[in-house]
Amino acid sequence: MKVKFIELLEKLVSIPSPSGAERTASEFLAGWMAENGFRAEVDAAGNAVGTRGDGEHEIILLGHIDTFPGNPPVRREGEMLFGRGSVDAKGPLATFAAAVSQVEPPDGWRLTVVGAVEEEAATSKGARHMLKMRENRPPKFCIIGEPSRWNRVTLGYKGRLLAHVRLRAPFSHSAGQGALPAEQGVEFWQAIAAHCAAVNEGRTGAFNRLDPSLRAINSTDEGAFGTVKMTIGFRLPVDIDPHVLEADLRALAASSPAEIDLQFEGHEFAHRAEKSTPLVRAFLRAIRVAGEKPRFVVKTGTSDMNVVAPVWQCPVLAYGPGDSSLDHTPDEHIDLNEYLRAIDVLKMALENLMEAKK
C-alpha cells in the first residue's frame, strides 16, 4: 500500500501542471481515483473530482493540482522527493486521495476529493466552480489541502489584493530639481509602504499586519514623458476589507502630481477558522494517537480557504504534509515518511469525524 501511494505522488509531481495547464495531471488523478474506489471525473472547470459514498452529509477535501511556474527536475534522494508541487500542493492532494481510498464512508456520508485548478493564480477557477456546483448545499465540513507539516493544523490565511500601477509623468532635466518619472514611481511605492506602516502601528504578529510587496517594476522613456509600471501585492489581516484598501490606494494616487492609473484584482478577505469544532477535534485526536503533540498555525499567504469558507460557512481547516517554506523554491521537496504519516492521520481523522457525527 505504501509503495502505491508513493508512486501516486511521484507520478503526479512528474506531470507539469502550472496554472492554466493542468489537464494532463487532472486526467491522471481522476484515473487513479477511478481505479481505487472513487466515482471520478474531470469536471467542466478542469478539476479532478473523486467521490466515495452517497450520503447527504459531505466532507469536501479541496486540494489544488496546479503549481507555481518552473519545472525543477523530479528526483529521489533517499526518502526525499524533489520536484515542483511536491509540497505545494500535490503532496497534500495525494494525501487526500490516498487516505480517502482507504475509508468506507458510513451511511449518510460521502467524501469528495478535489484537485482544483488555478489556485496559484488570482482566479481560483477550480474553487469557484465548486462553489457554483454546491450552491445552496454546502458541505458539512471542508478540509483544504496545503502544507502544514503532518502534526499541525492550519486555521487561517491572510487576505490578498493585487494592484497594477501605471504612472506617467513628464521628464525634467536630470541636472534639475524635478523628480524624474522613475523617481516618482519610487516615491509612490514609498507612500504605499508608509500607509501600510501607519495601519500597522500597534499591531503585533505577522498575521495581524498589512504587508505590501513590490513584485515588479520597470520604466520606459516616451520622448518627453516616462512611464513606470509596477505590480504590488498586499497581504491583509482579518479586519481589513480589500475593497476599502483599494479606495485608500486610489486616494493616494489622486494626491500624486503624476498621472497614475490603478487596476486591481485578487480581492480576497482573510479567514480564520474556529478552533472548537468537531473537525478540529478529530484531527487533534488523530495526531495525538500518532504520537505527536498537535499544533495550530496561521499562514501569511492565501489559499482556497479564503474563497470557499466565507460562502460555505462550515467548519474548515487546512492540512497536509510538507514544509511550506519550500513553496515555490527551486529546492522544493517532501519527506516521503512525513507524507505517509499524514495519510494515516487523515484517514483516522475522517473515520473519527464521521463516527462521532452519526
Task: Tell me the per-residue pLDDT of 5-64, one tens digit each, with 9 for 90 and over.
Answer: 999 999 999 999 999 999 999 999 999 999 999 999 999 999 999 999 999 999 999 999
Could you tell me the residue range of the domain that residue 298 belongs to? 2-157+270-356
CA–CA distance, 54 with 39 (Å, rounded to integer): 10
Instruction: Check residue 358 and give its pLDDT.
Output: 56
Residue with the bigger pLDDT between 291 and 257: it is 291
Residue 139 sits in the same domain as residue 230: no
Q: Which of 66, 88, 268, 304 is catalytic?
A: 66
Cell 502550472 belongs to which residue?
18
CA dihedral 299, 305, 307, 310 (to 10 degrees): -100
Regarding whether 237 and 185 lie in a shared domain, the answer is yes
Encode burial over 120-134: b for 16+ CB neighbours within 10 A, e otherwise.
Answer: bebbbbbbbbbeeeb
Per-residue confidence at 175, pLDDT binned at 50, 70, 90?
very low
Q: In the predicted model, is pLDDT for residue 177 greater than 90?
A: no
Mean of pLDDT values over 150-165 = 98
pLDDT at 299 over 50: yes
Tell whether 33 and 108 lie within a shared domain.
Answer: yes
349 in the same domain as 309: yes
Lowest mean pLDDT among 61-65, 169-173, 232-236: 169-173
Give the pLDDT of residue 224.
Answer: 84
193 and 252 in a single domain? The answer is yes
**Residue 88 belongs to domain with CATH number:** 3.40.630.10
Does 281 lie in the same domain as 134?
Answer: yes
- Per the annotation, the verdict on 119 as an active-site residue is yes
* pLDDT over threshold 70, residue 329: yes
* Contact yes or no for 232/189 (Cβ under 8 A): yes
C-alpha–C-alpha distance, residues 42 and 27, integer Å:
6
Label the pairing between strands 159-170 and 259-268: antiparallel
- Whether the predicted pLDDT of 134 surpasses 90: yes
Choose one of 228, 252, 268: the last residue of a domain. 268
Which three-class secondary structure state does DSSP give residue 254? helix
76 and 112 within one domain: yes
pLDDT of residue 172: 66
Evaluate if residue 346 carries a pLDDT over 60.
Answer: yes
Given 215, 244, 268, the domain boundary residue is 268
CATH number at residue 258: 3.30.70.360
**Do residues 163 and 148 share a domain?**
no
SS3 180: coil
The predicted pLDDT at position 357 comes to 60
H or E segment to which residue 203 belongs: none
351 shares a domain with 251:
no
Phi/psi region, residue 313 (left: phi>0; alpha: psi -120 to 50; beta: rest), is left
Residue 338 has what pLDDT? 98
For the beta carbon of residue 183, count every other beta carbon within 10 angstroms. Answer: 15
Active-site residue, from 22, 58, 88, 119: 119
Residues 19 and 123 reside in one and the same domain: yes
Confidence band, pLDDT 50/70/90 cuts, at residue 122? confident
Q: What is the pLDDT of residues 189-226, one digit of tens each?
A: 999 999 999 999 999 999 999 999 999 999 998 878 99
Distance between CA 191 and CA 194 in Å, rounded?
Answer: 5
Mean pLDDT for all residues in the chain: 95
168-182, 204-218, 254-268, 341-355: range with lowest mean pLDDT: 168-182
Nearest partner of 61 among 3, 146, 160, judged by Cα: 146
- Burial label for 317, CB within 10 Å (0-12, 13-18, 19+), is buried
Sheet holding 80-82, edge to edge: 75-77, 80-82, 333-335
Mean pLDDT within 162-174? 85
Q: How far is Cα of residue 295 from the mean position of the Cα atoms in its chain? A: 20
Residue 118 known to be catalytic: no
What is the model's pLDDT at position 222?
81
Give the chain's domain count.
Answer: 2
- At residue 223, the pLDDT reads 78
> Of the candidates 204, 239, 268, which is a domain's last residue?
268
| Residue 198, all three cell numbers | 501607519
Let me know whether 127 and 67 are in one domain.
yes
pLDDT class for 173, splitting at 50, 70, 90? Answer: very low
Do 36 and 18 fall within a single domain? yes
Rounded CA gap, 274 and 155, in Å? 7
